[in-house]
Amino acid sequence: MDLDLSPGELAFRDEARAWLAANVPADPLPSMDTSPGWRAHQEWEARLAADRWSVVSWPEEFHGRDASLVEWVVFEEEYYRAGAPGRVSQNGIFLLAPIIFGHGNPEQQRRWLPTMATGEQIWAQCWSEPEAGSDLASLSSTARRDDERGGWVLNGQKTWSSRAPFADWGFGLFRSDPDAQRKHDGLTYFCFPLDAAGITVRPIAQLDGEPGFAEVFFEDVFVPDADVLGAPGDGWRVAMSTAGNERGLSLRSPGRFCAAADRLVDLYAATRTSSATERVVDAWIRAEAYRLYTWGTVTRLADGGEMGAAGSVNKVWWSELDVALHETALDLLGPEAEVAGPWLDGYLFSLSGPIYAGTNEIQRNIIAERVLGLPREAKGARA
């Protein structure tokens, strides 16, 4: 693992740092889970894209900079250190875009990636279903072939669809072959506009009352073949590419947690709550450990390695670290923590971390079986 940046990487870092210093809003944007906040975050995405900072690792033809993996991590560290706004486009640019690059055809890439990069179109992840829980492969929403129109007809319900209350497009899996022998087979990956005929989006209020999620109902929704990602029936393999991105390196870069740990140290210095010293130090060390682990992963990937099941280690680590960082901050604030503010908002969001992107219970099973090589859990033992 090499922690020394090259001259070119240092120049990239300095350019990013200067741009962020000149452009990050002085005041936090309104919550993206409100109409005014949504518009403000879309304007921020457009500002990033105008100077090609919205998707630095993408090819230049799609508004990127062709940045290397090292430069991407460097940019993320600078982004969070500067206190820049959260990314309303993250479902698209971090989760779906790698799938479009890997499984989409050139027409789909030209149609979706540019507007995704500029924030003109925001995407919602429509995976979870009311009866599927963490077992994504047990989904029951269906896709019926319509040869006459050249496409598919979707029916069913998705829930906990992040960004769906305000988003433009969604992506998700549907069962296209009900006779498939295995539940992982016969699934197809679809993209669809959320204002299509037959789609109903019903917002779900979070703990703070804002609609960060939604239920999405499909009633005879027609999707043309042009909006299928990958081959029909191959959706599970395509979806696992998405899951790897979500649980692994790209969704939660270490810069986010290192910046929060630094702010926690500043808060501790301001409050001088000696009883929390050990927790503050522990949280900072854990954030730094995650940073170093990520650089080790970057080195491995740069040498031709793969993320594999180790992404589950990342997911458990960052999600539990995020809760610890914010719990410690709220304890430092004492009664003041009851007043709305960035630490309280961050704490409420952190509580969802061990649940989304595959629950931490599922991740621990993956770590035990695929990383450590332990025997598979007895059938029927899982909740």
Active site amino acids: 246
Chain-centroid distance of CA 145 in Å reads 31
CA torsion sign, 271 to 275 to 280 to 281?
A: positive
SS3 category, 142: strand
| Cβ proximity of 53 and 19 under 8 Å | yes
Chain-centroid distance of CA 223 in Å reads 25
Q: How many residues are recorded in the chain?
A: 383
User: What value, to the nearest 5°, has the Cα angle with vertex 377 and ends 373 and 378?
Assistant: 140
Q: Where are the alpha helices (DSSP H) in the chain?
A: 7-23, 35-50, 69-81, 90, 97-103, 106-118, 235-247, 254-271, 277-302, 310-333, 342-350, 360-366
The set of residues, in sequence order, having a beta carbon less than 8 Å from that of 238 and lying 6+ positions away, is 99, 103, 189, 229, 230
Of 142, 121, 125, nearest to 221 (Cα)?
Answer: 142
| Cβ proximity of 230 and 237 under 8 Å | yes
Max CA pair span of the chain: 72
